[in-house]
Chain A
């Protein structure tokens, strides 16, 4: 039997959808008993959301004022203290989980499997290397505790309908004071989050300017979509860093991905491999993006995008 501990990602009020994807990943283990740990200043609201996820056996709520802002150096010792009896300790492969889980793994002396995309057994996992250009199957020996990050693009979110008991937990550990939260820039919150959006409209260097890039926001508005950008568009200053989709940016799996003025460099395609449907709009009919697009449209984006916006009324 596998005893799985999932570390919830949240903003203090809402559970991040990455957590529900970790539950789906964990459920692939035979006879999995899944516990979700919510570490927060006041975990009540997030813990009750976690308790409704189908497949969750128990929720551990760890309340501590030090947990107000998630910092790996503060969270890891608390997690290590409650994780001893679990076989698998998982978190989402978001910047939250990527920062935190190796620190937890180190304290547990456990190997970490990063970016798990499939679980074949309690000791066998599949994960991408070389930016997704190869997939490896990795074994650990039986009885080895492992930490892992779960590639959110590879799993659907667990449904709701569960009613797991919530238990308060207060691990007796001394927390360090060497790491202090200063600020987080408030990203615009009226648009869907790029990492979890069902639809994404993404722009490339062909937009030509920050002004031109505004076309993306107008189209996204009509579609209820998140906005993404290629590395070229970000490097050129047309779009901000957190919009970058690709190997060095975000790896996403929306139902609909519309790539506009994006040629389709390998590093970009790596970020959208798992999108359900890809639409490409580009004036260069030879652009590599058309090799992976489900629907391709060759033409001038400055004519096509306004026409699309109009048709979507």
Chain B
């Protein structure tokens, strides 16, 4: 069966302004709205569109996290994924699963499910690492096409347009391959109420992290969280001439 594996991460919602714990030990997440990482939602949307065009038969969503991540997997099922897998980490574990370990976990699932494509977000908006897709592609010894803004499948290859600093780059990769999504690949669909009801009946498998035999001991340790330095409010000028004079005075023109 032609499958697409999509990774999703439960993160603090995009619209929430994060707060640091007063002792600098972390980010406040109690009572904060959690959502699917927005880039992962784009990854899922792309997988669904590929399936709807008939180029794939099954879309599997995977998350690595605590039991609470089942909420995000249910949302993904409501969007249209066929089944879900939660690789469950113990509740209260404060050492995060690092990208190297996350990619190792995904590789185990790739070996089991044999997907034609793995689509991930280009980065999670919490840790901003932007590593997991590339690491998975390396461990799997398969192509990577990161920061994708357009994906065309033809037989056993994909032609992917990537958003790079110079503009747009196009790569052709053999399948299977790993794609990571940029913001403008698509606009994810909204979930409708009947789909939420239907999603409750779709399969959601829970796999304990420890059962996969992947080395997950962290290799890095965050020792402190600090707020970013704040900029000070400057001066107001009354017109263009005054602005140009001020910039001249500061040696900026």
Which A residues fall within an 8 A CB radius of B?
A: 11, 71-73, 76, 94-96, 98-103, 105-107, 109, 111-115, 124, 128-141, 144, 176, 178-187, 193, 195, 223, 241-242, 248, 250, 255-256, 266, 273, 277-279, 290-299, 304, 307-308, 311-312
Query: Would B226 and A135 count as touching, CB distance under 8 A?
Result: yes
Query: Would A115 and B128 count as touching, CB distance under 8 A?
Result: yes
Complex: chain B residue closest to A100, CB-CB = B134
Residue count of chain B within 8 Å CB distance of chain A: 75
Determine how close the nearest CB of chain A comes to the CB of B229; give it in whole angstroms.
8
Give the docked Cα–Cα distance between A14 and B184 (Å): 30
Determine how close the nearest CB of chain B comes to the CB of A189; give it in whole angstroms.
9
Between A and B, 21 residue pairs with Cβ closer than 8 Å are A71-B171, A98-B146, A100-B134, A107-B138, A130-B18, A130-B27, A130-B128, A136-B226, A140-B219, A141-B219, A176-B143, A179-B144, A184-B166, A184-B167, A184-B168, A185-B166, A186-B167, A241-B168, A242-B163, A278-B231, A308-B243
Query: Would B17 and A106 count as touching, CB distance under 8 A?
Result: no
Which residues of A sit under 8 angstroms from B126, Cβ to Cβ? 129-130
Query: Would A129 and B135 count as touching, CB distance under 8 A?
Result: no
Interface SS, B side: mixed
Which residues of A sit under 8 angstroms from B243, Cβ to Cβ? 279, 295, 297, 308
Which residues of B sit under 8 angstroms from A242, Cβ to Cβ? 163, 165-168
Residue B210 interfacial (CB < 8 Å) = no
Give the docked Cα–Cα distance between A183 and B240 (Å): 43
Which B residues fall within an 8 A CB radius of A?
A: 12, 17-18, 20, 27, 98-100, 103, 125-135, 137-139, 141-147, 149, 159, 162-174, 177, 183-184, 219-228, 231, 233-241, 243-244, 246-247, 250, 252-253
Which residues of A sit under 8 angstroms from B233, Cβ to Cβ? 290-293
Query: Would A178 and B128 count as touching, CB distance under 8 A?
Result: no
Determine how close the nearest CB of chain B comes to the CB of A237; give it in whole angstroms.
11
Query: Would A250 and B223 count as touching, CB distance under 8 A?
Result: no
Give the docked Cα–Cα distance between A265 and B141 (Å): 40
Partner of B165 from A76, A195, A278, A298 at Cβ < 8 Å: A195
Complex: chain A residue closest to B222, CB-CB = A136
Query: Would B239 and A297 count as touching, CB distance under 8 A?
Result: yes
Which residues of A sit under 8 angstroms from B183, Cβ to Cβ? 248
Query: Would A129 and B127 count as touching, CB distance under 8 A?
Result: yes
Give the docked Cα–Cα distance between A308 and B167 (Å): 29
Partner of B143 from A73, A96, A114, A129 at Cβ < 8 Å: A73
